[in-house]
């Protein structure tokens, strides 16, 4: 039996599935952590939560680079034959935007802490000191990167919500295999041509 590691024309392989769910869940957790930490009134807790947000941000960034590499080295499974024209156009555009946000969010977060005049070292999970990005250091620069990071995070919240609703619509309303094939590679579009 094939190991089902790589994607084919009809299904996602195990690596794409594992990367989708690990990055997806960490990404949603990272958004929740970000929203909570900036609203925490205790200064000490806020500081510790921000250090955690930075650590998970870098962990995510590593996984996202792996995910992008795997995406580029694999084919993308086709949509089921009955998918409408609008969704055939919208789905790749939405997935492209989600990939772009996954790349740009950690980078703008990294730029934001690199631009800070406080120069608090970033130590992912207390393991090592992460070097800063070569960006200008000033309150104005930090403020600019903060605005970019926060608005991109809000855009990600909207897009992820639409993405999850679309997946649920496929599963419960259209009753096709879109959600199930992102859970197990044994489910594939086998009704519309070979792998």
Binding site for ligand HEM (CB under 6 A): 20, 23-24, 27-28, 30-31, 34-35, 38, 50, 53-54, 57-58, 60, 71, 76, 91, 95, 98-99, 102, 105-106, 109-110, 112-113, 122, 146, 149-150, 153, 156, 160, 163-164, 167, 178-179, 182
CB of 16 to ligand HEM, least distance (A): 6
CB of 137 to ligand HEM, least distance (A): 14
Q: On the CB side of 184, how many CA atoms lie within 13 Å of its CA?
A: 4
Q: Retrieve residue 192's tokens.
A: 């519309």
CB of 173 to ligand HEM, least distance (A): 13
From the list 33, 77, 30, 64, the residue with the least C-alpha distance to 192 is 77
Q: Retrieve residue 175's tokens.
A: 């009753």
Cα separation, 64 vs 23, in Å, equals: 7
Degrees, nearest 5: CA angle 93-78-186: 125
Of 1 and 29, nearer to ligand HEM (C-beta) is 29
Tell me if 37 sits within 8 A of 78, measured CB to CB.
no
Of 6 and 163, nearer to ligand HEM (C-beta) is 163
CB of 2 to ligand HEM, least distance (A): 19
CB of 4 to ligand HEM, least distance (A): 15
Of 8 and 102, nearer to ligand HEM (C-beta) is 102
Cα separation, 16 vs 12, in Å, equals: 6
Of 2 and 148, nearer to ligand HEM (C-beta) is 148
Of 1 and 72, nearer to ligand HEM (C-beta) is 72
Cα separation, 22 vs 52, in Å, equals: 17
Axis-axis angle for helices 14-37, 139-168 (nearest 10): 130
């Amino acid at each position: 039996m094939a190991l089902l590691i790589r994607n084919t024309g009809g299904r996602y392989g195990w690596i794409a599935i594992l990367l989708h769910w690990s990055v997806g869940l960490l990404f949603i957790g990272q958004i929740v952590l970000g929203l909570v930490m900036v609203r925490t009134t205790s200064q000490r807790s806020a500081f510790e939560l921000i250090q955690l947000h930075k650590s998970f941000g870098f962990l995510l960034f590593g996984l996202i680079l792996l995910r992008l590499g795997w995406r580029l080295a694999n084919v993308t499974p086709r949509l089921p034959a009955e998918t409408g024209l609008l969704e055939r156009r919208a789905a790749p555009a939405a997935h492209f935007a989600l990939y772009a946000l996954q790349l740009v969010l950690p980078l703008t977060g990294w730029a934001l802490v690199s631009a800070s005049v406080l120069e608090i070292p970033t130590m992912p999970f207390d393991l090592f000191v992460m070097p800063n990005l070569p960006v200008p250091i000033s309150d104005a620069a930090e403020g600019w990167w903060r605005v970019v990071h926060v608005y991109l995070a809000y855009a990600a919240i909207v897009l992820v919500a639409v993405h999850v609703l679309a997946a649920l619509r496929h599963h419960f309303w259209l009753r096709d295999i879109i959600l199930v094939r992102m859970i197990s590679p044994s489910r594939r579009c086998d009704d519309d041509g070979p792998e």
